[in-house]
Amino acid sequence: MKIAVHCANDVGEQKHFWQSTGLTPASLLLNADMRQNMIYAGSIPHGGITFVRIHYLLELVKADGLGTDNPVYNWSILDNVLDVLIENELKPFFELMGNPEGYFTDYLDDTQAWAWRRLVRDLARHYIDRYGMDEVRSWSFETWNEPDVGWWTQSEAAFCVYYDACLEGLQDADPQLVMGGPGTARTLSNIFKAFVAHCDSGENYFTGEQGVRVDFISVHEKGVRSCKEDLNPSSMGICDREIQAVDYIRQHHPRLADVPLMNNECDPQVGWLDYHTWRGRPYYAAFVCKMINQHQMRLTDGLGVDYKLLSNDNGFVGEWGHRTLLARFSEFEDVKAQSEHRTKVTDLQENPLRRKFEMLKKPVLNVMALLALLGDRRCEVTGSDDPAANVGVMATRRDDDQVAVLVYNSQDRIISCGTETIELSLDGLPFEQAALAHYRIDETHSSPYEVWEAMGAPRWPSASQYAHLRQHQEPTLLEAPHEVRVENGQLTLTFDLPLHGVSLLVVSARPAAGPGSIRALRYERYAGLTDNEQVMLIWKGPDSRVIRTFEVLYAQNAAGPFQRVNEVDTICTVYLHVREPVHQTTYYKIRTIDYWGRSSESDVIEVAPATSK
């Protein structure tokens, strides 16, 4: 297959509108496994995962006097949960969902409507005080999740009053805070229609004004219904149903036609808990790339939709076949908590088995790292203009310094195989000498599931098996960075791309300066399932987009000698050092290496013995 990328032909901004995940319930973030999950999400370079959409955050708020003018709140548990996100440079996609103290039973009751407005106002003011105005303005606030399928138990009229209370409460705190909805699950459901009609021409319950501000319209469209079987999802069907919503709004509520759209639960299949092994394999990663490209081609390019966010709801904790970013091995099962979505906080703090687990990256997490390396301007592509085709391309540029081209080979049919030979021609390259790096996700690259299966699929891998699996869990270079000669702005590359697979080719001019230094190096301890101890190193990487790897250096003396302990290259900003127990202070630092071998080193961090932390 011949594909041409015309690097000098700019066709618009490349918005990274896919940088999101989601989970439930909020209280899981009080536990070590979910906290580690969020560390991995935050480790994707350049904010590759930025937003985390979480159900029932307001269940964590304690309050007295909600029906009065001066309620008293205890935000401490919610603070602890949101601190996990902020510490990892993640942002809440904040669903205003939950019922503190069970007080709110009818939003058509005037006292309750005003109480909810005050709650939202005070919530926003609290987090502006805690994190700063600029931070909270970068969040998005949203209505109650999926009010059309049982999550919402009141009337459509009550939902509209509830929305007004959310909006007015946020505006009382800061008029620039972002609010939208309705996050419905069924295509053009009655409550969806009632919501957009209310925003278009309905009467604001509090102000009496006609028409209610809405900053985005959200829906949930997925590839196929929940089923224990491996039903084949329809990627094009997701877009088809979103287009129905766009057409409905444009026809019936043209005043809202330019409001940004999002699908913030755009999953291949309904039901996070149903076990589908493809979720742990490259199929899922390639499907995500195809969904992104189809949305860009069909909705952004084809219909001029201002597409704000496309998110998988895959931030849960679970095994290979669950809808998660990582595979967790643990003696503790919290399926009940995640399926019922609401759990007593004390129940999650009492079971010590929760503290012992092992986590392995899946290809769907690794593909977020590859997507993060795309540029900020789109390049014209020829030879790949059918959004339904197996092979698709996203070609981007960043100034005159870099061109990044992502090619996927994805078929909706789960049981499918094959290989496509790709001849990729680049013209209009803005440099003559460059380095080429080629990243790959397929069944033999960036995918530990196949390695685990080859081991005999052990239920409880040994320490050496976990170590071997982790050597296969990072975004992998098919070709190490090497110099290439660009003739008259042209470069042709040929490679085979398996079904299902993803290639990212990054062609970069050499920057004048080497990689910048990392910052904010810190560590966390975890209790795994073996006799070894675990020290997780977390850092914030430089803005450089030509990093080959971070090397994690370790010593038992502050003066060294330091030795590299991560055998496999990583472009993500986290490393779990699994080591034999050490009963003394130890030391770590991070070395950053770019495509040309230039390096920089961080300051040294001191790690106290386990008994001291």
> How does pLDDT run across 253-277, given as a tens digit for each residue?
999 999 999 999 999 999 998 999 9
Residue at 569 is within a domain: yes
Q: Looking at the structure, tell me whether residues 544 and 467 fall in a common domain.
A: no
Which pTM value belongs to this model?
A: 0.97
Q: In degrees rounded to 5, what are phi and psi of residue 508?
A: -130, 135
Helix axes 156-173, 110-131, angle to 10 degrees: 40
The candidate with the shortest Cα–Cα distance to 517, out of 491, 539, 487, 548, is: 539
Q: Which of 458, 484, 508 is the last residue of a domain?
A: 508
Mean pLDDT of the chain: 95
Residue at 204 is within a domain: no
When pLDDT is averaged across residues 197-223 and rounded to a whole number, the result is 98
pLDDT score of 288 more than 70: yes
Residue at 464 is within a domain: yes
> Which residues have a Cβ under 8 Å from the Cβ of 423 and sit 6 or more positions away?
1, 2, 3, 492, 493, 494
pLDDT band at 440 (very low <50, low <70, confident <90, very high): very high
C-beta separation of 279 from 323 below 8 A: yes
Q: Residue 406's beta-bridge partner residues?
A: 394, 504
* Alpha-carbon span 172 to 118, nearest angstrom: 9
Respond yes or no on whether the N-terminal peptide bond of residue 182 is cis (omega within 30° of 0). Answer: yes
Q: Looking at the structure, tell me whether residues 480 and 530 fall in a common domain.
A: no
Helix axes 76-87, 32-42, angle to 10 degrees: 40
The candidate with the shortest Cα–Cα distance to 578, out of 468, 430, 486, 450, is: 468
When pLDDT is averaged across residues 489-497 and rounded to a whole number, the result is 98
pLDDT score at 610: 86
pLDDT score of 500 more than 70: yes
The candidate with the shortest Cα–Cα distance to 205, out of 165, 260, 256, is: 165
Q: Looking at the structure, tell me whether residues 482 and 535 fall in a common domain.
A: no
Q: Looking at the structure, tell me whether residues 553 and 608 fall in a common domain.
A: yes
Q: Looking at the structure, tell me whether residues 543 and 501 fall in a common domain.
A: no
Tokens of 405: 């081209």
Q: In degrees rounded to 5, what are phi and psi of residue 310?
A: -130, 115
pLDDT score at 350: 46
Percentage of the chain beyond pLDDT 90 is 93
Q: Looking at the structure, tell me whether residues 393 and 466 fall in a common domain.
A: yes
SS3 category, 587: strand
Q: Looking at the structure, tell me whether residues 387 and 497 fall in a common domain.
A: yes
- The tally of domains found in the chain comes to 2
Residue at 416 is within a domain: yes
* Alpha-carbon span 414 to 246, nearest angstrom: 29
When pLDDT is averaged across residues 180-187 and rounded to a whole number, the result is 98
Q: Looking at the structure, tell me whether residues 491 and 551 fall in a common domain.
A: no
H-helix or E-strand spanning residue 553: strand 547-555
Q: Looking at the structure, tell me whether residues 492 and 525 fall in a common domain.
A: no
Residue at 501 is within a domain: yes
How would DSSP label each residue in 152-178?
Answer: --S-HHHHHHHHHHHHHHHHHH-TT-E
pLDDT score of 459 more than 50: yes
* Alpha-carbon span 259 to 261, nearest angstrom: 6
pLDDT score at 332: 81
CATH code, 590: 2.60.40.10
pLDDT score of 566 more than 90: yes
At 191, the amino acid letter reads I
The candidate with the shortest Cα–Cα distance to 51, out of 30, 29, 22, is: 22
Q: In what order do the strands lie in the sheet with 533-540?
A: 519-526, 533-540, 574-579
When pLDDT is averaged across residues 309-322 and rounded to a whole number, the result is 96
Residue at 450 is within a domain: yes
Higher pLDDT, 228 or 138: 138
C-beta separation of 551 from 584 below 8 A: no
CATH code, 463: 2.60.40.1500
Q: Looking at the structure, tell me whether residues 403 and 473 fall in a common domain.
A: yes
pLDDT score at 331: 86
pLDDT score at 150: 87
Residue at 474 is within a domain: yes
End-to-end alpha-carbon separation of the chain, Å? 56
pLDDT score at 355: 79
pLDDT band at 347 (very low <50, low <70, confident <90, very high): low
> Which residues have a Cβ under 8 Å from the Cβ of 533 and sit 6 or more positions away?
525, 578, 579, 580, 581, 582, 610
CA distances from 538 to 161, 284, 327, 375, 502 (A): 44, 27, 20, 25, 27
pLDDT score of 443 more than 50: yes
Q: Which of 508, 527, 557 is the last residue of a domain?
A: 508
At 527, the amino acid letter reads A
Higher pLDDT, 612 or 98: 98
When pLDDT is averaged across residues 100-112 and rounded to a whole number, the result is 97
Q: Looking at the structure, tell me whether residues 488 and 536 fall in a common domain.
A: no
Residue at 572 is within a domain: yes
SS3 category, 371: helix
Q: Residue 505's beta-bridge partner residues?
A: 405, 438
pLDDT score of 414 more than 90: yes
Tokens of 222: 């997925």
Q: Which residues are catalytic?
A: 146, 265
pLDDT band at 613 (very low <50, low <70, confident <90, very high): very low
Q: Looking at the structure, tell me whether residues 380 and 494 fall in a common domain.
A: yes
Strands 62-64 and 72-74: antiparallel
**Domain coverage including residue 523:** 519-612
Q: Which of 457, 480, 508 is the last residue of a domain?
A: 508
